[in-house]
Amino acid sequence: MSHYKHKGAVHHGQHSGKRDEDAGGWVEGITSLKDNEQAMKLLDQVAEVAASMKVTALSDAPTPAKVSVAEVKGATSEEEGAALNPAITVTRDEDFEACLEHALGLMVKEIQDVGEIVLEVGAPSGWGPVGMSLERMEVCVKRATETAANHGAGVSPLRPARQLDVQTASGPVSCHVVDLLVRRFCGEDGNQSPIEVRVAIIGNVDSGKSTMVGVLTRSILDDGRGLARSKVFKHSHEETTGRTSSIGQHTLCLDSAGHILNDALFKIQTCSDYIARAAKVITLVDLAGHEKYFRTTAYGLTGHMPDYACLIVGANMGVVGMCKEHMGVALALKVPVFFVITKVDIAPEHILKQTVQSLMVILKKPGVKKKPFLVRNVDDVLLCARNMNTDSLAPIFLTSAVTGKGLDLVRLFYNLLPQRHRWAERQKELPEFVVDETFSVPGVGTVVAGTLKKGTLTPNMNLLMGPDLSDGSFKSVSIKSIHYKRLPVTQVVAGQTAAVALKRTKRNQVRKGMVLVDEKLHPKASWEFDADIAILTHSTTIQPRYQAVIHCEIIRQAARVVAMDCERLRSGDRACVRFRFIQRPEYITPNTRFVFREGRTKGIGIVMETEHEFEKTTEELLQKQMADRAAKQEQKLAAEAVASETAPTVAA
């Protein structure tokens, strides 16, 4: 505990001014933050940066650069974006060939690592040579198609070719530009896994979340009386009340050309037939909107690890209630959010305008720092899909599930959504599988479902499962079989969800929150962990012994503050805190972002160290102290020896 509060210690748990203490919601807490508050720095900070910095230096952590819509649009706009930076046009044939070969090499690497790439051929800051004639552009498209086919991928145009005026050092040059989708073919032989992107569907109760999921996954329109949502409900009481109370996972299957495979006959029970033909899978995690199911929704936003969040806003009700709470949790977890405003067919024009305006006001607040962008056409969809990873762009779609308005743009946006993480790099690591659901299947046995964070899983692989409820230990288990979206597969890779059947394991031995990891990782459950936290809203002050519920990936448990690097915390403050779980130890890893809540208190944090790392650090400190003590002793003995040798000389 040497790095916690002591005399003269430098810490960042400072209260930076009076704030509105009545704001008790997630969005209110985030939007009320000021640029000079420490909580704002943690909200903007990347988790890896936070964990690598010393406790005393966290207050000076820089915030990452944001990309504005003007900059994004300027980089790809048809009219004026090309003139922002002078482009280098390729005129000689040998230069054109060299530039094209280099671009094809980059495309092949993306196909191998990610599985898809969207090319803007011929545009400034795009792919391939710039300033091409129509003939050269056709050559580029042909070569890209042939190269992609040789590496098991197809090329599809996203919009017709267009002509741009590119500003060069010698003056404006007219060039041709075309947008292409390059995507790996479906792996019918089982060797290639489809690309998976997970999207959490959040929003206020009765805003139309389940209806939107039903319309997208069943390729139908709603009748205005609950037809579409009845296709996706899991429980009978959900059909009776019309409200989702559980976490539902639904699949949108796409082929290599971007066409949706789902039809009106699509069912969860038969989705394996569609998965077998899919090159890309969008997993829509349908979450509950009612206030009493908020902890279930928070578990879905953390435990299911979505790449993006789709916030459904009812045009006739506005940004109210749990809509703001869900948005705040997604912002706190740094999940990129895009917005779908539904029911525009029944909302009066002035109410719709007021809803859009109120949403834009929230997005422009200092704590949010997002640029709202109203999507009106295919060009806007391409712009937003390319720049969703910047986490500063907030696309807004206007839709109706009854008339079908805006649904084509939403489908295209889902088709082009990229994976948020480079899973190809994590596939080379040791496997780590988090369990978010458990089953007992007759004739099969115990089955656990979840997300593979790292590595690759194959049948007959031996792993460690834990932490156990009784003693927090990890026990050896063996994988019997693996299903991906109800389709039997020979392997799953990092970034995919799967159901894993375990050999010789009883149902009461598994629970939500467990992990399957490789024994080489030497996993250990932790009672305590250090975290860099920020308080968004709190009515009074936070001191040691304070308790709150932690939502950290699949972990959902109450924890107590046992130490902190300052005396007390208020709204807007930031500090390094040591938490201790109340019920049982958990498997928790550094660099993980989490949220915690208690009543009207809301906070965010990043895990820095676990108790096993404390012990390691303590041992290193003790060894260093012993080495320093031994070195000082040697220096003292050497000095005494020198003094004894020179003493007779001085006497003489």
Taking the model in full, what pTM does it have?
Answer: 0.84
Between 296 and 165, residue with greater pLDDT: 296
Give 41-92 pLDDT, tens digit per residue.
787 775 444 444 433 332 333 333 333 334 444 443 443 333 334 445 666 7
Print burial letters for 30-39: b (CB count within 10 Å at least 16), e (below 16). Answer: bbbbeeebbb
Rounded distance between C-alpha atoms, residue 359 and residue 368, angstroms: 12
Q: State the pLDDT at residue 90.
A: 62
Q: Is residue 633 part of a domain?
A: no
Distance from chain centroid for Cα 579: 24
pLDDT exceeds 90 at position 596: yes
Q: Which of 177-186, 311-320, 574-583, 610-619 has the lowest mean pLDDT?
A: 610-619
Of the pLDDT bands very low, low, confident and very high (cuts 50, 70, 90), residue 642 is confident
Shared-domain flag, residues 42 and 81: no
Shared-domain flag, residues 214 and 333: yes
Shared-domain flag, residues 246 and 316: yes
Rounded distance between C-alpha atoms, residue 123 and residue 137, angstroms: 11
Average pLDDT over residues 256-267: 92
Shared-domain flag, residues 101 and 225: no
Average pLDDT over residues 312-332: 92
Amino acid at 408: D
pLDDT exceeds 80 at position 347: yes
β pairing state of 497-503 and 515-517: unpaired
Q: Is residue 436 part of a domain?
A: yes
Of the pLDDT bands very low, low, confident and very high (cuts 50, 70, 90), residue 216 is very high
Q: Which of 137, 152, 184 is the last residue of a domain?
A: 184
Q: State the pLDDT at residue 620.
A: 60
DSSP 8-state code for residue 66:
P
pLDDT exceeds 80 at position 361: yes
pLDDT exceeds 60 at position 431: yes
Shared-domain flag, residues 300 and 396: yes
Rounded distance between C-alpha atoms, residue 254 and residue 49, angstroms: 36
Q: At 579, list the tokens.
A: 């938490």
Q: 248 CB contacts (<8 Å, ≥6 apart)? A: 210, 213, 232, 233, 234, 285, 286
Shared-domain flag, residues 227 and 332: yes
What residue numbers bound the domain in which 92 lies? 72-184
Highest mean pLDDT among 79-88, 94-103, 117-126, 402-411: 402-411
Asked if 39 and 535 count as a contact pair (C-beta separation under 8 A), the reply is: yes
Q: Which of 16-25, 410-419, 428-437 has the lowest mean pLDDT?
A: 16-25
Q: Which of 484, 517, 550 is the last residue of a domain?
A: 517
Shared-domain flag, residues 199 and 345: yes
Q: State the pLDDT at residue 168.
A: 64
CATH of the domain at 468: 2.40.30.10
Average pLDDT over residues 390-407: 93
CATH of the domain at 158: 3.30.110
Q: At 174, list the tokens.
A: 């007219």
Closest to 190 (Cα-Cα) out of 612, 489, 584: 489
Q: What percent of the chain clears pLDDT 70, i.e. is strictly above it? A: 84
Domain count, the chain: 4
Shared-domain flag, residues 221 and 345: yes
Q: State the pLDDT at residue 612.
A: 78
Give 545-590 pLDDT, tens digit per residue.
999 999 999 999 999 999 998 889 998 899 999 999 999 999 999 9
Average pLDDT over residues 25-43: 78
Of the pLDDT bands very low, low, confident and very high (cuts 50, 70, 90), residue 391 is confident
Q: Which of 517, 540, 556 is the last residue of a domain?
A: 517
Give 91-114 pLDDT, tens digit per residue.
677 888 889 999 999 999 999 999
Asked if 340 and 410 count as a contact pair (C-beta separation under 8 A), the reply is: yes
504: exposed, middle or buried (Cβ count in 10 Å: 0-12, 13-18, 19+): exposed
Q: At 249, list the tokens.
A: 């996972």
Shared-domain flag, residues 169 and 202: no
Give 464-477 pLDDT, tens digit per residue.
999 998 888 999 99
